């Protein structure tokens, strides 16, 4: 059987792409400290993360965000005009709580804590980005990052994110982000690094 080569060209992610998107993100976040804290069961984490990202994508970001994917990665961005609508509705919260089980309260507290550290001025927000580790080195995550940053630059707006994986901080710094602050999630949770990137002109200045 001949395997088709995977493309790292970003394309808009539609609801039909939910299986590809959720599978890539579930694998990408399998070793993420925050996701391991929310979903501590090693045996079921990948399956539960798949359902978690399917819920976020199909009920939230696909409707109010800018979602792109490659064959092995996905990214969810939110422009300023979509941030008020991108807050999960009651039904979405209920679905997430059913996945989180007894970790639901920790998740709620973490979301509220992160919101307290969010910037107030207009900005693009990188909510989620991840690539399947099996495609590591294929440029999938970098391609999605460049695509979203270009949109923010075209709007003349900064980009903000929170990294929950310390090894990703230097990667984001390579793309022009700087750490605004480091804070720890309540309830004994892991550290998050709040990062920001100022807009760049087309010349890269």
Domain ranges of the chain: 11-160
User: What is the residue-wise DSSP string for 60-99?
Assistant: IIHHHSEEEE-SSEEEEEE-GGGTTTTS--HHHHHHHHHH
Query: Does the 11-160 domain belong in CATH 3.40.630.30?
Result: yes
What pLDDT, on a 0 to 100 scale, did the predictor assign at position 203? 52
Residue 196, φ and ψ in degrees, nearest 5: -145, 145
pLDDT at 4: 46
Write out residues in the chain with pLDDT < 50, as ranges. Answer: 1-4, 204-205
pTM of the model: 0.91
Residue-level pLDDT at 2? 43
Total residue count of the chain as it appears in this document: 205
Please give the pLDDT value at position 202: 65
For 69, the token pair is: 């994917």
């Amino acid at each position: 059987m001949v395997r088709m080569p995977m493309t790292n060209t970003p394309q808009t992610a539609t609801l039909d792409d939910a299986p590809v998107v959720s599978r890539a993100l579930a694998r990408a976040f399998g070793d993420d400290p925050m996701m391991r804290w929310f979903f501590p069961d090693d045996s079921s984490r990948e399956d539960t993360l798949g359902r978690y990202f399917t819920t976020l994508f199909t009920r939230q970001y696909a409707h109010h965000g800018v979602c792109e994917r490659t064959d092995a990665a996905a990214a969810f961005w939110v422009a300023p005009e979509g941030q008020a609508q991108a807050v999960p509705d009651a039904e979405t919260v209920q679905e997430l709580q059913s996945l989180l089980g007894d970790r639901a309260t920790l998740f709620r507290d973490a979301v509220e804590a992160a919101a307290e550290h969010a910037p107030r001025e207009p900005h693009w927000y990188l909510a989620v980005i991840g690539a399947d580790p099996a495609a590591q080195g294929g440029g999938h995550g970098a391609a999605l990052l460049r695509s979203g940053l270009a949109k923010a630059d075209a709007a003349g707006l900064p980009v903000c994110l929170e990294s929950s994986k310390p090894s990703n901080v230097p990667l984001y710094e390579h793309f022009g982000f700087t750490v605004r602050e480091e804070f720890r999630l309540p309830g004994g949770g892991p550290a998050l690094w709040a990062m920001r990137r100022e807009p760049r002109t087309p010349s890269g200045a």
